[in-house]
Structure formats: C-alpha cells, structure tokens
Amino acid sequence: MEDTIKRPQFGNRLLENVDEVFKHNAWDNVQWDANQEKAAAEKVERNSEVTFSEDHLKDLEENADKHWDAFYNIHQNRFFKDRHWLFTEFPELAPDYTAAPVRVFPDSESSQLSTINVKNEEKENQHVKNSKRFIFEIGCGVGNTIFPILQYSQDPSLFIYGCDFSSKAIEIMKQNELYDTKRCEVFVLDATSNDWQVPFSENSLDIIVLIFVLSAIEPSKMINVIQHIHKYLRPGGLVVFRDYGRYDLAQLRFKKGRCISDNFYARGDKTMVYFFTQEEISKLFINAGFIEEQNLIDRRLQVNRGKMLTMYRVWIQAKYRKPL
C-alpha cells in the first residue's frame, strides 16, 4: 500500500478551465456536453450515408489476411509503438513491476472497483503460484504488447502465447531479437474460425489479452471469438480488453463511402474497424458466460499545441472473468 502511494499517478490531469486547454499535451476523463455528443452523432450519420456494395464487402472479408499482410509489408514493425502503458491500465499483466504509474479514476466508485480487481486477481492466483502462468494475446501483431510484458515481468514461470491473422506480422515478430522461444510462442490464427488450432489446451490460460483487435472483426463474428476465449481460459481466468469507443476521433474522421454498416468502416488500406459502446461489450461477454469486473469509457483530449488543435479520443476499457 505504501509503495502504491509513492508511485506516480495517471489519469488525474483534469481540464477544469477551458482557457488552459493548450497548457498540456493531453487531458484525462474529459466529459462531453449534449451539444458535442449531438454534433458527433450527426457527423457519423453523414459519413454513413453511403455504404459499401456486397461485392466490395465480400472482398474485404475474404481477403482480410492479405490486406493485413500488405499493411505489415509496408510498415514492418514501425507503425505501432510498444505499449508500455499496459502496466498502468492492466497491472495484472506484470504484477511484480512496480515502476508503472498507478491508474486513478475521478469517480470514486470506479477507482475502488479497480483496486478490488487487482486484489482479487492476486488472491485467485495463489493456487498457481510456483507453477506455469500463461498469457495469450489475440492479434499480437509484431509484438508491441508481448515484448514489453517479457521485458518488465520478472516471473520465471510466465509463458506468453500470441496469434495474429497476418502471417507477415508473425514472421516479423519472430525475427526480433527479443523473441525468445523459452518464454513465448506466436503463430498464425484466424480467431473467427470455428476450429482453433492452438498449442494449449482448454481451461488452461490465466489471462487473455484483447487490445484493439475485436474492432477489426466483422460484428456478426465477434461472439464466436468471445466463446472461444471462454473455452480456453481457466476457471477464474481474466480477459483484459481495450478498443475503440463510439464517436472516437478516428470514427469522426471517416469520409463518405468508407462505411460498411452501422459504426463499422473500411480504412484506405482495406483493414476494417468497429466503434463500440459499453453496452455492446457488456452484452458480448456476459452472454458468453463472463462476469464483468470493469467496463469504463476512457475519454482523452489530446492537444497539438503547435497547430492549436484539439482531438477527442474515446476508448472502451474492460475486464471480464470466467467464473470459478
């Protein structure tokens, strides 16, 4: 407890005076007023007026792996930054790493919930202490989540699995000098398939990481992914989730002609993205048999002080546990 108090805190930079908006590069938990919410809804309605044809949609779905391979062929491992913020948002991933800032929430109830979750995780992991601890990341890309966990976790019993739809991403990750087959294993997997060919058994994983990946999947196929996650988690195991929220800047920036269906779009590189509400995430996981431990909206105001621009980001962050 004393160590937690001494650690820097994250999430408590609140914009209380709008005249000071350009004082910092970012502000936490920025609340929208009714006019801003209405303007965002109207912008989404306009950019959704023209939708893709059935033939175009068929190409996006049938060649999704090729589109992601093309993405990684172009960007290699340079597009996404390593996710060092993971240990602030999800301390369960490296519970022995104490240098990360402590996440705080302005709402006392949310803050209390977050504290309870970490304690429950520690308590329920007592029975697996000194035995192997398994983490599995779906949509691991080129290792921007897995490598930081391996770097910061001192747990010798930790082993991490990772999968991605793109064979090119897996190829790039395996070439990284940080890739250690004694501590991790990655492989190609279409997570929407009915039959997962994976190197671990059912009811065996401690944590499954689902970060900015469910949004890339066609909405009708999402429940199949969640059901498979439930199958492979051990009883008491945890899902950590973070993804795009409704009216995020990325959604508002789409032009007409990029909409596939409601809140589901195709980028210029033909990869796809969906923008969630909290209620949609709750329904997906609870209907699959999970217990909800956290489901919050992370509203961030990012500022470009050079260009005097304000950019509103909206993410959904959640944790779901498989019952014991």
pLDDT of residue 62: 67
Highest-pLDDT range among 12-16, 65-69, 99-103, 113-117: 65-69
pLDDT of residue 34: 80
Query: What is the rounded CA–CA span in Å between residue 66 and residue 180?
Result: 27
Q: Which of 45-49, 57-61, 230-234 has the lowest mean pLDDT?
A: 57-61
At 166-204, the pLDDT tens digits run 888 899 999 998 999 999 999 999 999 999 999 999 999
Which residues lie closer than 8 Å to 173 by C-beta, 6 or more apart? 77, 140, 141, 142, 143, 146, 162, 164, 179, 186
Q: In the predicted model, is pLDDT for residue 207 greater than 60?
A: yes
Q: In the predicted model, is pLDDT for residue 319 greater than 90?
A: yes
pLDDT of residue 309: 57
Find, among 75, 76, 93, the residue nearest to 84 by Cα: 93
Query: What is the rounded CA–CA span in Å between residue 140 and residue 212?
Result: 10
pLDDT of residue 321: 98
Per-residue pLDDT band at 2 (split at 50, 70, 90): very low
At 122-174, the pLDDT tens digits run 444 444 455 789 999 999 998 989 999 998 887 889 999 999 988 888 999 99
At 239-256, the pLDDT tens digits run 999 999 999 989 998 988
Joined together, the tokens standing for residue 262 give 């409601």
How many CA atoms are closer than 13 Å to the CA of 201, on its beta-carbon side? 2
Superfamily of domain 2-321 in the CATH hierarchy: Vaccinia Virus protein VP39 (3.40.50.150)
pLDDT of residue 197: 94
pLDDT of residue 161: 98
Q: In the predicted model, is pLDDT for residue 223 greater than 80?
A: yes
At 99-110, the pLDDT tens digits run 655 665 655 344
Per-residue pLDDT band at 47 (split at 50, 70, 90): confident
Q: In the predicted model, is pLDDT for residue 112 greater than 60?
A: no
- What mean pLDDT comes out for the span 26-31? 64
Q: Which helix (H) or strand (E) holds 167?
A: helix 167-174
Angle at 258 between CA 285 and CA 169, to 5 degrees: 60
Q: Which of 32-36, 83-87, 318-322 has the lowest mean pLDDT?
A: 83-87
pLDDT of residue 213: 94
Q: In the predicted model, is pLDDT for residue 269 greater than 80?
A: no
- What mean pLDDT comes out for the span 209-222? 94
Q: Which of 43-47, 139-143, 281-285 has the lowest mean pLDDT?
A: 43-47
